[in-house]
């Protein structure tokens, strides 16, 4: 099986975490945000995910902005289905993005308006300049998700596509973190010298989350429930 490509800017993304260290440091602070209650969340969707009847359930977790976690998810999907013969309907993978990584859960509007690429030192692989769009989302096959080959060894197949869009097409669920989103809203306000209430920026972020991203109260708590109640295996990337 060929190794997964589409990682040319991962090293650059990792370097951006240091430059955006204030974001990573402020997000987990419980003193900085209101503690939400269960009525604020789509618990039914989360419980359905936690109790998914798949034979193999795995959660990938990261706080680092960059594409390496997506490559790991692709490798696991391919290995389970083709290396171990697990039917794809018996595989459920969850990707949890928190801290700076949570910004990968938002669309091009947010990336352009708030200059996310420049803040995280993530360059667009096509231009070599700071990304003004979410370079982690779009797949290789376009909006209609039509690939030139269904051969697992073909680098142009979905089996070598580590984009968020391709992973979602293969059934991977993405979790966003409320605490991280609140932290991002505060940091974006500070970076751009904004004066409006932080809740306005927070709601704007939520309005521009990627399709099918499930926002949870706290990613670290959601992971605990996936492990203890859902019996998901855990891998930190």
Q: Which of 69, 106, 74, 54 is nearest to 215 (CA)?
A: 106
What average pLDDT does the structure give for the chain?
A: 88
Q: Could you tell me the CA-to-CA distances from 119 to 32, 176, 187, 223 in Å, in that order?
A: 21, 19, 10, 27
36, burial (CB in 10 Å: exposed 0-12, middle 13-18, buried 19+)? middle
Q: How far apart are CA 57 and CA 20, in angstroms?
A: 32
pLDDT (tens digit per residue) in 184-231: 999 999 999 999 999 999 999 999 999 999 999 999 999 999 999 999
Inform me whether the pLDDT recorded for 21 exceeds 70.
no
Residue 20, φ and ψ in degrees, nearest 5: -110, 35
Least confident residue range of 6-15, 63-72, 95-104, 168-177: 6-15
- The pLDDT tens digits of the residues spanning 44-68 come to 999 999 999 999 999 999 999 999 9
| DSSP helix/strand/coil, 199 | helix
Is residue 10's pLDDT more than 90?
no
Q: Which domains does the chain have, with CATH numbers?
A: 22-28+37-106+163-236 (3.40.1260.10)
Instruction: Report whether 128 contacts 154 (CB < 8 A).
Output: no
């Amino acid at each position: 099986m060929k190794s997964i490509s589409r990682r040319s800017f991962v090293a650059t993304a990792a370097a951006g975490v240091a430059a955006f260290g204030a974001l990573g440091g402020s997000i987990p602070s419980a003193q900085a945000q209101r503690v939400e209650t269960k009525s604020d969340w789509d618990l039914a969707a989360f419980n359905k995910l936690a109790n998914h009847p798949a034979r193999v359930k795995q959660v990938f977790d990261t706080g680092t902005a960059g594409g390496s976690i997506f490559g790991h998810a692709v490798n696991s999907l391919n290995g389970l289905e083709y290396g171990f013969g697990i039917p794809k309907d018996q595989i459920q993978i969850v990707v949890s993005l928190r801290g700076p990584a949570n910004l990968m859960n938002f669309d091009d509007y947010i990336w352009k308006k708030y200059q996310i690429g420049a803040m995280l030192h993530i360059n667009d692989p096509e231009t070599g300049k700071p990304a003004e769009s979410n370079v982690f989302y779009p797949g290789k096959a376009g909006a209609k998700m039509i690939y030139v080959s269904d051969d697992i060894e073909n680098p142009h197949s979905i089996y070598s596509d580590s984009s968020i869009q391709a992973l979602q097409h293969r059934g991977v669920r993405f979790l966003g973190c409320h605490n991280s989103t609140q932290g991002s809203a505060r940091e974006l306000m500070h970076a751009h010298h904004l004066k409006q209430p932080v809740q306005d920026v927070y709601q704007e972020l939520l309005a521009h989350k990627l399709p099918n991203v499930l926002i949870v109260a706290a990613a670290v708590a959601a992971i605990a429930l996936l492990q203890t109640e859902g019996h998901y295996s855990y891998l930190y990337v």
